[in-house]
Amino acid sequence: MYTPHTPDEIAAMLAAVGAPSLEALSDPPKGLEIRTPFDVAAALPEAEAFADIARMAEANGASRMISFLGAGAYRHYRPPAAAWFATRSEFLTAYTPYQAEASQGSLQAIFEWQTYMCLLTGMDVSNASVYDGSTAMVEGAIMATHATEKRRFGVSRAVHPLYRSVLQTYAEGMGLEIVELPVDGDGRTQLTGDRAGDLAAVIVQSPNFFGCIEDVAAAAALAHAKGALLIQVIAEALSLGVLKSPRELGADIAVGEAQSFGMPIGYGGPYAGFVATRREHVRRLPGRLVGETRDVDGRRAYVLTLQGREQHIRRELATSNICTNQALCALIATAYLATVGARGLRAIATANLARARMLAGRIASISGFSPAHRAPFFNEFTVRTPEPAADLVRRLERHGILAGVPVSRYYPDLTHDLLVCATETTTDADADRFAQALREEVAHAVAAV
Amino acid sequence: MPSLLFELGARGRGSDFVSDAGRPEQFLDRDVLRDAPPIPDLTELEVARHFTELSHRNFNVDANFYPLGSCTMKYNPKVDEAVANFPGFTELHPLAPDDQAQGALELLWRMERALSSLFGMTRFSLMPAAGAHGELTAMLMAKKYFKLRGESERVTCIVPDTAHGTNPASAAMVGFRVVAVPSTPRGHTDLKALQNRLDGSIAVCMMTNPNTLGLFEDDIVEMTRAVHAAGGLMYYDGANANAIVGLCRPGDMGFDLMHLNLHKTFSVPHGGGGPGSGPVGASKRLSAYLPVPLVSRDAGGVFRLDSGVEHSVGAVRAFWSHFLAVVRAYAYVIVHGAPGLAQNSRLAVLNANYLRAKVKEILTVPYDDACRHEFVCSAEALKKATGVRALDLAKGLLDAGIHAPTMYWPHVVPECLMIEPTETETKATLDGFVETLRELVDLARRDPEAVKALPRRTPVRRVDEAQAGRLANKGIGLRWEPGAQAERSESS
């Protein structure tokens, strides 16, 4: 156990308090005592707890399989340096940096995160991070309602379905209206029509859920012509290593998921969402912000700022209810970006381009398989399959391969589409095994018919 | 002074990390490509020196005592870190088939059972990312509950004047109208005032128990009865749950909804402000509104992500939870068991009362009843006598290597310091804190200016918050910009 009290100390402390016993001091009022035993296992010694949890970790076969899963969570190489520095006790066990004099390390790291997010998105200002990519998108939408005083959103159907479902949850609670923008046969958002009228913002993801790089500039032009903002969602942050920044494409708000910057996929979290925008929207940013200032001796210092927007000051009038950011995850991302630098980031992103094309070529060479879309892609792409993709995925599991996400999981009518991801960690041998397994399974299916 | 990363490095440093894959232009048209990302290239040693230097400029639980009210800065056992780093968890994709993620699903299922049992709820969702996210989730559930009952006229959310700021902010986000209830002179929520605010518009009453003054709400059962009788729901803010784990249960008090902060009560490290984890619990009648997916176990003992929740509000984030945070909290639960968790709560209460008994010899303790895990004191009398404020005492503590208590909150106490020692601190540490506080107050009486000039030994001294705010309002000073630092120091 991790409490230090000896019986003598407890007795001395009770005497100082004037309480007859520990129970007398801490029992609940009469009538609220626990009457039924807890459904919690008896305490395990630390060594056994460690072993018990190790057993559960081992029981996740997917963690050891060759994986082509992406869709918002990406298995990348994580240079050990990033987590090594970022998870030092001094960062890991610190509190939120309200006391600036005692928190310059965390504050400067957040300031550096804000800077990295601005440099990569091309934006002027970034917040200190939010829960994840999906909630970043929601916060971006809320910013747009404040900026335009409108509550209607045009959201591309090619935005990650989980992100859209989170927006839908918030929208129902907050009275926002969602209009879906259809996807054309080429896997990209259809921007024709007059659906942008009276919108707070148009929301597109690029690269989108199907892997396609969208024409964000055209979407921005359309949104702006109708007085709406353009929010670009980036679920794969590594793409910012080679693709044009959201600002260059005309986006007003860039939101996304920074998991690819050094965070483990970890069965879905914790990750770090980012929200960056142009200077004019700075007061609409949700959550924490760190600013630069001086101390009384004139030394450069950092401090939480614009707290007048936040819940602990404004209560029900706050711009958001967010209280925490993802400081440690943002710090890992910051250390990752520092470690790989411009050169590494570009090289790793380029390797993703190369590996994904290598894999796409291997798959397209199999009879019956073809690319579902012609649009350019980063490290993910959709494959048209000769039989339902969900069936293939199940059968590939027996080969020790996670073949990707059957698109029908989220788009029930797209039964023969498989979303596949390759990263810098995908080897030629992985791709060969994948292609071989696909060949065998399709041949079996044909033989069975 | 540490440089910023952007003031370090040089073009020509760094490495590729992967074998040469060519140039982006070989794979994509130029019109979608950017130039080289405008970030610095550093060597790993530069990165090491940088972050190690930054780390030395941080207080942290492994080095410093944090008597930080409402934040539960207990020690974070290192076994929790070790198990959260098992590759079977870190390399597990959230969209992996359930059959190949049985261990992770089992852990989530076990954690849900433990929390439901410990807090008297029917089910818990582990999905919310933080306490405030849990609150918002619960407000969405309440709103949908009333909508489906055809009671959309219920829009009032009652919060005590001592409530956390996230309570009214979360309620307002779903369109609830926030009504405050005052506290009694003894520091409890005023039952009569609460009853007077109940009418047909009541949706939810959000309560923290023990409240933020550290006092158990003796009338809690009467309050929940009154709110239920008026057709409203009771919401338990679990920020102060460290006082009650294993001792009593929000479900038994009559609460319908609640959240926990696993980073407080269950020892997930705070990480300098996140990630947290904010599970939401629901009573029987609210369980059908929890976010999806939940984890279920079939008769054959197979675990599944289960989206079959009848009236679910939907998903509140992508994927299923802050999973690696839940793993840490689960380790904490199983090394303690229910009796160990209860003993921790008792010792947290003992440490707080011991400090209360000592601190009241130095500062005013306005509600001098037995407290739970925390208590508040006031420097109002000291300020009148010497001009030294709660803020100055807080900064003086920093100078002595002790993190400041929570300051100026709750607002009902002038010059408030809120103190929560947690159960992991030794009596010697508590005695040292009391001595430091006594010396500071003595110094304030002799030489108030000396206290106002503290801290002196921290990496920086008091900072100009107003200056940062003025610039930030214009979107300036929130990031490094080439040459900007020089310009600003010239203009200021």
Cβ-count burial A83-95 (b if 16+ within 10 Å, e if not): bebbbbbbbbbbb
Residue B127 CA to residue B221 CA, distance in Å, equals: 29
Structure tokens, B131: 């306490």
- The domain limits of chain B are 5-55, 79-335
On chain B, the residues whose CB falls within 8 A of the CB of A56 are 88, 103-104, 106-107
DSSP B274-305: ------EEE-GGGGGGS-S-EEEE-TTS-EEE
H helix or E strand, kind and range, residue B104: helix B102-119
Structure tokens, B167: 């309570």
Find the CB nearest A321 among B18, B135, B273: B135
Which residue ranges in chain A fall short of pLDDT 70?
193-197, 311, 449
pLDDT tens for chain B, 492 residues: list them.
899 999 999 999 999 999 999 999 999 999 999 999 999 999 999 999 999 999 999 999 999 999 999 999 999 999 999 999 999 999 999 999 999 999 999 999 999 999 999 999 999 999 999 999 999 999 999 999 999 999 999 999 999 999 988 999 999 999 999 999 999 999 999 999 999 999 999 999 999 999 999 999 999 999 999 999 999 999 999 999 999 999 999 999 999 999 999 999 999 999 999 999 999 999 999 999 999 999 999 999 999 999 999 999 999 999 999 999 999 999 999 999 999 999 999 999 999 999 999 999 999 999 999 999 999 999 999 999 999 999 999 999 999 999 999 999 898 999 999 999 999 999 999 999 999 999 999 999 999 999 999 999 999 999 999 999 999 999 999 999 987 654 544 444
Q: What is the pLDDT of residue B492?
A: 40
On chain B, the residues whose CB falls within 8 A of the CB of A348 are 16-18
Residue A350 CA to residue A348 CA, distance in Å, equals: 5
* Cβ pair A360, A374 in contact under 8 A: no
* Cβ burial, residue B30 (10 Å; 0-12/13-18/19+): exposed
The CATH number of A62-75+341-448, from 3.90.1150.10, 3.20.10.10, 3.30.1360.120, 3.10.520.10, is: 3.90.1150.10
List all residues of chain A from 102 to 161 with a beta carbon under 8 Å from chain B: 102-106, 108-112, 114-116, 118-120, 124-126, 128-129, 131-135, 160
Distance from CA of A227 to the nearest CA of B (A): 23
Nearest CA in chain A to B65: A94
Q: Is B189 helix (H, G, I), strand (E, B) or coil?
A: strand
Quick check: B6 and A26 CB within 8 A? no
Q: What is the mean pLDDT of chain A?
A: 95
Q: How many helices (H) and strands (E) would you count in chain B?
A: 17, 12
Q: What is the pLDDT of residue A447?
A: 74
Find the CB nearest A338 among B42, B339, B472: B42
On chain A, the residues whose CB falls within 8 A of the CB of B83 are 49-50, 53-54, 57
H-type helices in B149-218, by residue range?
A: 166-173, 191-196
Quick check: B403 and A95 CB within 8 A? yes
pTM over 0.95: yes
Q: What is the ipTM of this complex?
A: 0.97
* Cβ burial, residue B90 (10 Å; 0-12/13-18/19+): buried
Domain B79-335 fold: Aspartate Aminotransferase; domain 2 (3.40.640)
**HEC-encoded secondary structure of chain A:** CCCCCCHHHHHHHHHHHCCCCHHHHHCCCCCCCCCCCCCCCCCCCHHHHHHHHHHHHHCCHHHHCEECCCCCCCCCCCCHHHHHHHCCHHHHCCCCCCCHHHEHHHHHHHHHHHHHHHHHHCCCEECCCECCHHHHHHHHHHHHHHHHCCCEEEEECCCCHHHHHHHHHHHHHHCCEEEEECECCCCCECCCCCCCCCCCEEEEECCCCCCECCCHHHHHHHHHHCCCEEEEEECCHHHHHCECCHHHHCCCEEEEECCCCCCCCHHHCCCCEEEEECHHHHHHCCCCCEEEEEECCCCEEEEECCHHHCHHHHHHHCCCCCCCCCHHHHHHHHHHHHHHHHHHHHHHHHHHHHHHHHHHHHHHCCCCCEECCCCCECCEEEEECCCCHHHHHHHHHCCCEECCEEHHHCCCCCCCEEEEECCCCCCHHHHHHHHHHHHHHHHHHHHHC
Find the CB nearest B40 among A105, A283, A342: A342
Find how far residue B155's CA is from the centre of its chain. 26
Query: What residue spans in chain A does CATH classification 3.40.640.10 cover?
Result: 80-336
| Tokens 């989220």 found at | A410
How far from B131 is each of A266, B110, B138, CA to CA, in Å? 20, 21, 11
Find the CB nearest B464 among A116, A266, A293: A293
Helix axes B427-446, B323-359, angle to 10 degrees: 60
DSSP B381-400: HHHHHHS--HHHHHHHHHHT
- Name the phi and psi angles at B316, rounded to 5: -110, 0
Quick check: A173 and B14 CB within 8 A? no
Find how far residue B234's CA is from the centre of its chain. 21
H helix or E strand, kind and range, residue B435: helix B427-446
- Name the phi and psi angles at B183, rounded to 5: -100, 155
How far from B86 is each of A72, A84, A122, A271, B376, CA to CA, in Å? 22, 15, 36, 17, 41
Distance from CA of B446 to the nearest CA of A (A): 23
Find the CB nearest B340 among A1, A244, A266: A1
Give the CATH number of domain A80-336. Answer: 3.40.640.10
- Angle at B158 (CA atoms; ends B153, B162), nearest 5 degrees: 165
Query: What residue spans in chain A does CATH classification 3.90.1150.10 cover?
Result: 62-75+341-448
H-type helices in B299-403, by residue range?
A: 323-359, 380-386, 390-399
Quick check: B106 and A56 CB within 8 A? yes
Quick check: B33 and A34 CB within 8 A? no
Determine contact: A358 vs chain B, CB below 8 A: no
Q: What is the pLDDT of residue A7?
A: 98
Find the CB nearest A97 among B21, B273, B427: B273
Helix axes A7-17, B427-446, angle to 10 degrees: 40
Q: What is the pLDDT of residue A321?
A: 77
How far from A367 is each of A28, A96, A446, CA to CA, in Å? 70, 56, 12
Residue B213 CA to residue A94 CA, distance in Å, equals: 24
Quick check: B40 and A341 CB within 8 A? yes
On chain A, the residues whose CB falls within 8 A of the CB of B165 are 310-315, 318, 323
Find the CB nearest B349 among A25, A99, A334: A25
Q: What is the pLDDT of residue A314?
A: 72
Most A CBs within 10 A among B17, B50, B333, hence the mutation to make, goes to B17
Most B CBs within 10 A among A292, A306, A379, A391, hence the mutation to make, goes to A292
Supply the DSSP symbol for B167: H
Of A155, A222, A235, A167, which is closest to residue A193 (Cα–Cα)?
A222
H helix or E strand, kind and range, residue B236: strand B233-238
